[in-house]
Structure 1
């Protein structure tokens, strides 16, 4: 019997699916771009990676599959955009659908991303980055924030 691809909100289930650890790919899925970030195999730190410009889903998935293969990624952490009260929105449903459609690449952890863009924006302002540079890098920095929060929780568990 073949196991179904894993898509979970539970860090413990995700950690169980990856007993050996390994590199993780964080994704901030938007309508026009997908911000990406990578962490080391020991789950210590996350860094912004490449920006994927969205076109058709098959092309988007192919770009992610290439990144997964090149970087030897063992799991995906996808930001789940919840409303401030914790309820779901149409964007949440879209992210869940995206996660189900890429789950054959690697196990997926959906991670609350309510404050990721704000945190990334503040960090880039603190670095005295220009508005134009921030606009081109915000999605990757948000993906790094999402991934760092997830690996902090995974290590603590």
Structure 2
């Protein structure tokens, strides 16, 4: 991936694709928006346009593993979709476990007292950001352990 390139996080749902964007230091993920899920070529073109506009050099696609970590039909469909979108958009892709990301985001939004309508509009992008942040956190080298003086 090019230096100072961002990552785009994708949370592919049945009807909506949540989008998130990292900063150039790959430290922080932020909700970016959502796309209506449609034809693969059209979605890949939209994602490629966002990547070009925002300076993104790769994708992280949410992989809906089973609660026990199993790789079922939904995970296979997400993997196939993510690989096809990445190939069509000309970007490298990594798959990342997104179990319970939507549930966690919904819980946080309920605790923040957002109405159901506001949650519905924001949950897809927020879930993508939650998943992308987990990937960024897991791939960052650990902080040095300084001895106490």
State the superposition RMSD in angstroms: 1.4
Provide TM-score, normalisation by structure 1: 0.83
Q: Distance in 2 between matches of 1:52 and 1:114?
A: 21
- 1:125-140 to structure 2, matched below 5 A, reads 125-140=110-125
Give the TM-score taking structure 2 as reference length. 0.88
- Alignment length, in residue pairs? 140
Rg: which structure is higher?
Answer: 2
- Give 1:33's match in structure 2, choosing from 13, 16, 36: 16
Q: Which runs of 4+ in 1 moved over 3 A?
A: none
Using the TM superposition, name which of 18-27 and 120-129 deviates more: 18-27
Shift, 1:126, TM fit: 2.5
Task: Compute the displacement of 1:140 (Å).
Answer: 0.7
SS in structure 1 opposite 2:91?
coil
Which ranges of structure 2 fall in alignment gaps of 5 or more residues? Answer: 143-149
Which structure 1 residue ranges, 5 or more long, are not aligned? 1-17
Match of 1:69 in 2: 52
Deviates more, 1:64-73 or 1:95-104: 95-104
Q: Distance in 2 between matches of 1:69 and 1:141?
A: 22
